[in-house]
């Protein structure tokens, strides 16, 4: 044991089909959220050729405390059960110790300036960039919160949002993560954005990014789930880049948040789960108006049926 605080990094490589389940397990046993890194090597877990974007590395951390061994054992037990059903889709648990400072900064190596859609540019706060006159620049320090722009679901949402008439609208961002979508909506002219997340780490990162962007008057960040108290009863645009299971669970609440002639952009859906989400939406009176796909992920543009 050292006097310097250490964190145990826990990483699992998984195909996108199993990523949602693996992320849930890491959330259950880890601390500080789950970082999801898109891998670009054309190689599967068994070294067979695969299309680009089929693999993810999911990472969480455990502080060096008396409970660490029990939490790691709990995760390993859950992963063992998962391997029994999805062994070909889920890699082995990898661990390494990192110092407090390294834990806070190690993930920064994965991110650079990224162009999305027609005008949106995502700039890590620690990198310089000179924008063109018509570009919308989002400067982020996501920390351990989801939402760096590198994941296909985030890019699908940004591209779809850019195609909507955002100016002057009331926007709700469910599962805001780093607040990347909320900031994009505000910079596209939304009158106000309510950003919502259940993870306190994400809420802290979102508030910091909103403040650094000078958008405190345009974006309010809340911790919790739907329905959101002390807010407009309905919204013109609802953004929900979460998971298929959560979208199904919150279908009625998302329907209640939609104003007449409004739009819901629902993403975080692996293509095998899209029909389940569509059925859950239809059951509460939501109609799919459009569908976009990227790297086996699906975005649904939804309206009130």
pLDDT digits (tens, 9 = 90+) for 159-170: 999 999 999 999
Which part of the chain has CATH 3.30.70.120?
6-107
Residue-wise pLDDT for 180-209, tens only, equals 999 999 999 999 999 999 888 788 889 999
Whether the pTM exceeds 0.85: the reply is no
Q: What is the CATH number of domain 146-304?
A: 3.40.50.150
What is the C-alpha separation between 141 and 166, in angstroms, rounded?
24
**171 closest CA partner among 188, 184, 157, 185:** 185
Top-level class of domain 6-107: alpha beta
Each residue of 220-253: b (16+ CB within 10 Å) or e? bbbeeebebeebeeebbbbbbbbbbbbbbebbbb
pLDDT, average across residues 148-160: 84
Would the CA dihedral through 173, 178, 180, 185 be positive or negative?
positive
Of 234, 102, 224, 239, nearest to 162 by C-alpha is 239
Could you give the residue range(s) of every CATH 3.40.50.150 domain in the chain? 146-304
Cis peptide before 227 (omega within 30 of 0): yes
Per-residue pLDDT, 266: 97
């Amino acid at each position: 044991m050292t006097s310097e605080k250490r964190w145990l990094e826990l990483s699992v490589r998984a195909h996108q089909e199993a990523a949602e389940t693996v992320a849930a397990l890491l959330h259950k046993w880890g601390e500080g959220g789950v970082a999801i890194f898109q891998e670009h090597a054309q190689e599967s877990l068994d070294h067979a050729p695969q299309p680009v974007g089929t693999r993810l590395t999911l990472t969480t951390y455990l502080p060096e405390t008396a409970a660490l061994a029990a939490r790691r054992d709990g995760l390993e037990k859950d992963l063992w059960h998962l391997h029994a059903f999805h062994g070909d889709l889920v890699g082995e648990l990898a661990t390494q110790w990192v110092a407090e400072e390294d834990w806070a900064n190690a993930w920064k190596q994965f991110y650079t300036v990224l162009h999305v859609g027609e005008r949106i540019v995502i700039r890590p706060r620690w990198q310089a960039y000179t924008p063109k006159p018509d570009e919308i620049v989002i400067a982020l320090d996501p920390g351990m919160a989801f939402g760096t722009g590198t994941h296909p679901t985030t890019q699908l949402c940004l591209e779809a949002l850019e195609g909507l008439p955002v100016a002057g609208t009331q926007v709700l961002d469910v599962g805001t993560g780093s607040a990347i979508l909320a900031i994009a909506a505000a910079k596209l002219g939304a009158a106000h954005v309510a950003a919502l997340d259940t993870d306190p780490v994400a809420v802290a990162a979102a508030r910091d990014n909103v403040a650094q962007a000078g958008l405190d008057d345009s974006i309010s960040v809340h911790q919790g789930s739907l329905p959101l108290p002390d807010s407009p009863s309905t919204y013109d645009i609802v953004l929900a880049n979460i998971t298929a299971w959560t979208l199904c669970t919150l279908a009625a609440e998302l329907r209640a948040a939609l104003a007449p002639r409004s739009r819901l952009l629902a993403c975080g859906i692996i293509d095998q789960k899209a029909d389940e989400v569509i059925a859950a939406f239809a059951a509460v009176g939501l109609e799919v108006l459009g569908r976009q796909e990227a790297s086996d992920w699906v975005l649904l543009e939804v309206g009130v049926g």
